[in-house]
A and B are shown apart, each in its own frame.
Chain A
Amino acid sequence: MTAETATPPAPAKSAEPDIRLLKLAEAVTIPALALIASALAFSVFLILIGKDPVQFYQLIWTGGFGSSFSFQNSLQRAAPLILTGLAFAIPARIGLTMIGGEGALVLGGFTAAAMAIPLVSSGVTPWITLPVMAATGMLTGALWLGFTGWLKHSRGVNETIASLLLSYIAIAIMNFFVEGLLRDPSSANKPSTMPIGDAYRIGSMPGTDVHWGLAAGIVLAIALWVLMSRTTFGFAARMTGGNARAAKAQGLPVGTLMVVSCMIAGACAGLAGFFEVAAIHGQANASLVAGYGFTGILVSFLARHNPIAIVPVAILFGALAAAGGVIQRRMGMPDATVLVLQGILFVVLLVSETFYGRFKIFQPKASGDRT
């Protein structure tokens, strides 16, 4: 994809405060209008099938945001999506469509759990074990997606199909070991690696029910935003994303940039896998294959590959998932209801991008033309 589609319309270089404010207002108003429009469109669907839209949206609120419990439910579900969203966004900025986050997450989680087995059994303190596990997961993910980046650069292998294939292979590797060599014999009906035990599990953040993966995701999102928008690396990466050939002609190390971006992405996904193991499951098993890697792609697109914007978008996803359960329970509607709503919502949000720069009200008075 090109830089035009991958980045939000850049503010004019010597942006005066009021122009920035206008841009911000535009960036808030358009998605808000899109949310309302998709809610109306989905209401039509609900009325057609004989359900009450008012009740529906009340329940979305109740289930996703309406109480401290509900909001934390949404945040917890958002945590892995922030990290997998970042795993798609960073290569996207450099022009790569890397859809292999799922595989990096699964392998990262699996290797983190495998690394924990000797450490836990020899009684190493969690203060050492957990960072080692996290590093292992991130390194595995980085190498896994870095390999894809290297294939792209050195052999010209298309990264989209390669990373998709590698995801299926990663899942096979994990299943092979979890059901064979590394299976905990007591994990009878759910083949898993040895549990790390409660003493090693990462608890919730103080005062909440949300695990530390959320904090890690937010910190990484900010760090990667700084990296991509405020450093030479980020500038070079975006330039490569805009026009790889020109970047090469400028003497930029395009290959290194590609591989490093992919490695950053893999590390994000691998970290998500680590948190699934250390905070949720306490071991590695087939439940690591939960589709977070694929959902992260959509999160990243809706956030227009902006690391900071990924956080609220992931929370929106988390809230819809959380509310979906309440909808099923109270309205007797199938699970697929939320899929339909998501589809409509995302299509409308993406269509709304066409309106940037079209509303006069958001344009600086000096220049009435379109951006």
Chain B
Amino acid sequence: MTLHSLSRRSLLKVGAAGLAATALPFGIARAQTNVILGIVYVGPKDDYGWNQAHAVSVAALKALPGITVVEEENVPETDAVAKSMESMINIDGANLILATSFGYYKPFVVDLAKKYPDVQFRHAAPLWNKETDPANAGSYFPYLNQAHYVDGVAAGLSTASGKIGFVAAKPIPSVLSNINSVLLGARSVNPNATVQVIFTGEWSLPVREAEATNALIDSGVEAITCHVDSPKVVIETAEGRGIKTMGHNASQAPLAPKGFITGAEYKWETIYKAYADDIAAGKTPPNFLIGGYNNDMLRNTPYGAGATPEAITAADAAIEALKGGAPIYKGTLKDNKGNVVVDKDYDNYDPYLDGMNWLLEGVQGSIT
């Protein structure tokens, strides 16, 4: 699945001008505006993590002519998000809504898309289903596990033992895939590599994240990465204890001048720019837009002082392979309970992987 083929899934070809005709009871200054983009964030938009990555990318759109951006932060995954999005439609006249948290999709985005068929909704997780979900809804999502695979490769060659620690928020597929990909990346260069994971249970809980980092270091890991909303605590704590680090969500390189290896980053701007271009050309943005290294939706943070020369060479090679579509999950693989979970080579976007509920053999941790 490439960006190009996905674009052809676009079902609606509604002109942007037509969208903008939505009546506006309370006009904001929008004399020549024909697209009003509303974006909702689940946390503060300057959290130095997940939300900030979106906010920075969408800020680039503000400069484009004909686009107004309205933003709302700290919107919980309750009916508050439904009402916030609906308020953007009713009061600001938004005709493109970006919902950036997993839990926004069902039931909120789906219900609202049915209620407002003239408004386009796009949600940041690969959940849109062509058969069951409204045609004016859609998904976009870069598969960050590819970049975490690269992290694993670099960490495998930047540590002696290959013991890697992972501070994770919740055992959901996108997190599990990042953990498994770090392991597979590390194992591709060091067959003895292991990943030890600690779940904090929350997306943002700095004290417990610091405790988890310390516990991992005390158990002997040599490098640490994480999947929480704001990785600053994890990176700083590990750097303070002389442990190497890999980042997540945004560049944490400045936080770890000594031990930073590399980090997994989204390039949301590729997607948001594509949406803007579609809109400018009078096209409806694609309903399903996913990708990774092959279509410029990811990057790895420039290598830090923690990365060895061999690690850099191997990681660069891994990136090139991923750009060519090299699969990460290659059969046969067992989970850490002994069951075969990968029996063949899976394409990096195979839907089977979206339902991942296992940790591979070599990962110490449990998802319940």
Name A's B-contacting residues (CB within 8 A): 62-63, 66-67, 69-70, 73, 76-77, 175, 179-180, 185-186, 188-191, 195, 276, 280-282, 285-287, 290, 321-322, 325-326, 328-330, 334-335
Q: Which of B70, B78, B170, B201 contacts A290 (CB 8 A)?
A: B78
Is B73 touching A322 in the complex (CB atoms < 8 A)? Answer: no
Bound-state CA distance A69–B91 (Å) is 9
Q: Give B75's nearest chain A residue, CB to CB.
A: A325
Enumerate B336-356 residues with CB–CB distance to A below 8 Å: 354-355
Known: A69-B90, A73-B87, A76-B83. A191 touches B78 (CB 8 A): no
Chain A CB count within 10 A is highest, among B26, B28, B357, for B26
B92 at the interface (CB under 8 A from A): yes
Bound-state CA distance A69–B87 (Å) is 8
Known: A188-B355, A190-B103. A280 touches B79 (CB 8 A): yes
What is the distance, in angstroms, from B290's C-beta to the closest C-beta of chain A? 14
Bound-state CA distance A347–B367 (Å) is 45
Q: Which of B26, B75, B88, B170 contacts A179 (CB 8 A)?
A: B170
B236 at the interface (CB under 8 A from A): no
Q: A179-B368, A290-B78 are in contact. List 18 more A-B contacts (CB 8 A).
A: A62-B26, A62-B91, A69-B86, A69-B90, A77-B79, A189-B172, A189-B174, A190-B106, A285-B103, A287-B76, A321-B80, A322-B83, A325-B72, A325-B87, A328-B73, A329-B38, A329-B88, A330-B70
Bound-state CA distance A240–B102 (Å) is 48
Is A322 touching B87 in the complex (CB atoms < 8 A)? Answer: yes
Bound-state CA distance A224–B174 (Å) is 46
What is the distance, in angstroms, from A171's C-beta to the closest C-beta of chain B? 9
Bound-state CA distance A326–B171 (Å) is 34
B125 at the interface (CB under 8 A from A): yes
What is the distance, in angstroms, from B197's C-beta to the closest C-beta of chain A? 14
Contacts of B233 on A, CB cut-off 8 Å? none
Number of A-B contacts defined by CB within 8 Å: 99
B107 at the interface (CB under 8 A from A): yes
Chain B CB count within 10 A is highest, among A175, A190, A282, A329, for A329
Contacts of B171 on A, CB cut-off 8 Å? 179, 191
A-B contact pairs, 7 of them (CB 8 A): A69-B91, A179-B170, A290-B80, A325-B72, A325-B75, A326-B91, A334-B73
| In the A-B complex, the 7 residue pairs with the closest CB atoms | A329-B70, A335-B74, A180-B368, A189-B102, A287-B77, A190-B103, A280-B79
Is B28 touching A330 in the complex (CB atoms < 8 A)? Answer: yes
Q: Give B38's nearest chain A residue, CB to CB.
A: A329
Contacts of B72 on A, CB cut-off 8 Å? 325, 328-329, 335
Is B354 touching A188 in the complex (CB atoms < 8 A)? Answer: yes
Contacts of B354 on A, CB cut-off 8 Å? 188
Known: A73-B83, A281-B107. A185 touches B28 (CB 8 A): no
B84 at the interface (CB under 8 A from A): yes
What is the distance, in angstroms, from A14's C-beta to the closest C-beta of chain B? 47
Is A77 touching B80 in the complex (CB atoms < 8 A)? Answer: yes
Contacts of A69 on B, CB cut-off 8 Å? 86-87, 90-91
B173 at the interface (CB under 8 A from A): yes
Enumerate B55-99 residues with CB–CB distance to A below 8 Å: 70-80, 83-84, 86-88, 90-92
Bound-state CA distance A188–B38 (Å) is 26
Bound-state CA distance A73–B91 (Å) is 12
Contacts of B102 on A, CB cut-off 8 Å? 189-190
Bound-state CA distance A190–B354 (Å) is 12
What is the distance, in angstroms, from A330's C-beta to the closest C-beta of chain B? 7
Contacts of B170 on A, CB cut-off 8 Å? 179, 191
Contacts of A290 on B, CB cut-off 8 Å? 76, 78, 80
Known: A191-B170, A334-B73. A326 touches B87 (CB 8 A): yes
Is A334 touching B44 in the complex (CB atoms < 8 A)? Answer: yes
Q: Which of B26, B78, B90, B92 contacts A287 (CB 8 A)?
A: B78
Q: Give B26's nearest chain A residue, CB to CB.
A: A62
Bound-state CA distance A306–B102 (Å) is 39
Q: Give B174's nearest chain A residue, CB to CB.
A: A189
Known: A67-B90, A328-B71, A335-B44. A185 touches B357 (CB 8 A): yes
Contacts of B16 on A, CB cut-off 8 Å? none
B127 at the interface (CB under 8 A from A): yes
Contacts of A70 on B, CB cut-off 8 Å? 87, 90-91
Bound-state CA distance A179–B87 (Å) is 32
What is the distance, in angstroms, from A205's C-beta to the closest C-beta of chain B? 14
Is A188 touching B173 in the complex (CB atoms < 8 A)? Answer: yes
Is A329 touching B76 in the complex (CB atoms < 8 A)? Answer: no
Contacts of B125 on A, CB cut-off 8 Å? 189
Contacts of B25 on A, CB cut-off 8 Å? 67
Known: A77-B83, A329-B70. A276 touches B78 (CB 8 A): yes
Is A175 touching B201 in the complex (CB atoms < 8 A)? Answer: yes
Bound-state CA distance A73–B87 (Å) is 8
What is the distance, in angstroms, from A310's C-beta to the closest C-beta of chain B? 20
Is A63 touching B87 in the complex (CB atoms < 8 A)? Answer: yes
What is the distance, in angstroms, from B90's C-beta to the closest C-beta of chain A? 5
Is B173 touching A189 in the complex (CB atoms < 8 A)? Answer: yes
Is A73 touching B86 in the complex (CB atoms < 8 A)? Answer: yes
What is the distance, in angstroms, from A52's C-beta to the closest C-beta of chain B? 14
Bound-state CA distance A329–B76 (Å) is 16
Chain B CB count within 10 A is highest, among A66, A69, A189, A286, for A189
Contacts of A334 on B, CB cut-off 8 Å? 44, 73
Contacts of B367 on A, CB cut-off 8 Å? 179
